[in-house]
Chains A and B, each alone.
Chain A
Amino acid sequence: MTAGTMQAHPAGEEEARAAITHGQSGMPTVMVGMLLFIASEVMFFGGLFATYFNARATTVGEWGPPAGGHLDIALAGVLTAILVASSFTMQFGVWAIRRGDAGKLKMWTGITLALGVLFLAGQLYDYSELGFGIGDGVFGTVFYTLTGFHGAHVFGGTVGLTIVLARALRGQFSARNHVAVEAVSMYWHFVDVVWIGVFSTIYLLG
Chain B
Amino acid sequence: MATTTLEPRAAGYRRAWVLDWLTTVDHKKIGILYIVNSFLFFFAAGILALVVRSELAVPGMQFLDEQTYNQAFTMHGTIMLFLFIIPVLSGFGNYIVPLQLGAPDMAFPRINALSFWLLPLGGLLIFSGYLFGGAAAEGWTSYAPLSNRAEGVGTDLWIIGLALVGTASILGAVNFITTIFKMRAPGMTLFRMPIFVWTILVTATLILLATPVLTAGLIALFIDRNYGGSFFDPSVGGNPILWQHIFWFFGHPEVYIVILPGMGVVSEVLPVFSRKPLFGYKAFVFATIAIGLLSFSVWAHHMFTTGGALFLPFFSFMTALIGIPTGVKMFNWLGTLYRGKLVFSTAMLFALGFISMFLIGGISGVMLASPPIDFHVQDTYFVVAHLHYVFFGGSVFAVFAATYYWFPKMFGRKLNEPLGKIHFWIHFIGFNLAFFPMHELGLLGMPRRIADYADRPDWVILNFMSTVGAFMIAVSVIPFLINVIATFINGEPAGDDPWEANTLEWATTSPPPPYNFDRLPPIHSERPLFFLTHGHGHAAERPGDLEEGSEEDAEHRKGVV
A: residues with CB less than 8 A from B are 1-2, 4-5, 7-9, 11-13, 15-16, 19-20, 23-26, 29, 32-33, 36-37, 39-41, 43-48, 50-51, 54-55, 58-59, 133-135, 137-138, 140-142, 145, 149
Contacts and interface: CB of A to CB of B under 8 A. Distances in A.
- Ranked nearest first, the 3 interchain pairs of A and B with the lowest CB-CB distance are A135-B228, A47-B216, A16-B104
Given A4-B509, A16-B515, A145-B223, A43 B104 contact: no
B184 interface: yes
Given A15-B515, A29-B182, 8 more contacts: A5-B513, A12-B514, A20-B109, A25-B558, A32-B177, A37-B174, A43-B209, A47-B217
A4 B513 contact: yes
A23 B183 contact: yes
B415 interface: no
B237 A138 contact: yes
Contacts of B211: 40
Contacts of B246: 47, 50-51
B208 to A, nearest CB: 5
B513 A41 contact: no
Classify the secondary structure of A's interface with B: helix
Contacts of A2: 412, 511
Interface string B497-526: 000000000000101111111100000000
Given A12-B517, A15-B515, A33 B559 contact: no
Contacts of B229: 134-135, 141, 145
Contact of A8 (B184, B215, B514, B561): B514
Nearest to B213: A47
B220 interface: yes
11 contacts: A12-B514, A16-B515, A20-B107, A25-B557, A26-B182, A29-B108, A40-B208, A54-B242, A55-B238, A134-B227, A137-B230
A25 B219 CA distance: 39
A32 B227 contact: no
Contact of B108 (A25, A33, A40, A46): A33
Interface size class of B (residues with CB under 8 A): 35 or more
Contact of B561 (A26, A40, A45, A55): A26
**Highest count of chain B CB atoms <10 Å: which of A2, A12, A37, A47:** A47
B513 A9 contact: yes
Contacts of B103: 19
Contact of B231 (A23, A33, A44, A55): A55
A87 B558 CA distance: 31
A36 B107 contact: no
B94 to A, nearest CB: 15
A2 B513 CA distance: 10
Nearest to B104: A16
B181 interface: yes
B219 A149 contact: yes
Contact of A23 (B177, B182, B213, B557): B182
B467 to A, nearest CB: 39
Most chain B CB within 10 A, of A24, A41, A55, is at A24
Contacts of B216: 44-48, 50-51
A45 B220 CA distance: 12
B173 interface: yes
B480 to A, nearest CB: 22
A70 B178 CA distance: 45
A149 B181 CA distance: 31
A82 B209 CA distance: 30
A4 B511 contact: yes
A81 B33 CA distance: 48
B210 interface: yes
B105 interface: yes
B257 to A, nearest CB: 14
A141 B231 contact: yes
B136 interface: no
A20 to B, nearest CB: 6
Contact of A19 (B104, B174, B181, B412): B104
Nearest to B108: A33
Given A2-B412, A5-B514, A15-B104, A135 B509 contact: no
Nearest to A28: B182
Question: Of A41, A48, A59, which is in contact with the most chain B CB atoms at under 10 Å from its CB?
Answer: A48
A46 to B, nearest CB: 7
Contacts of A26: 182, 559, 561
A133 B227 CA distance: 10
B178 A13 contact: no
Contact of A138 (B209, B238, B513): B238
Given A9-B514, A26-B559, A47 B227 contact: no
B175 interface: yes
B237 A137 contact: yes
A26 B82 CA distance: 35
Contacts of A51: 216, 220, 231, 242, 246
Nearest to A145: B223
Contacts of A50: 213, 216, 242, 245-246
A16 B547 CA distance: 29
A113 to B, nearest CB: 25
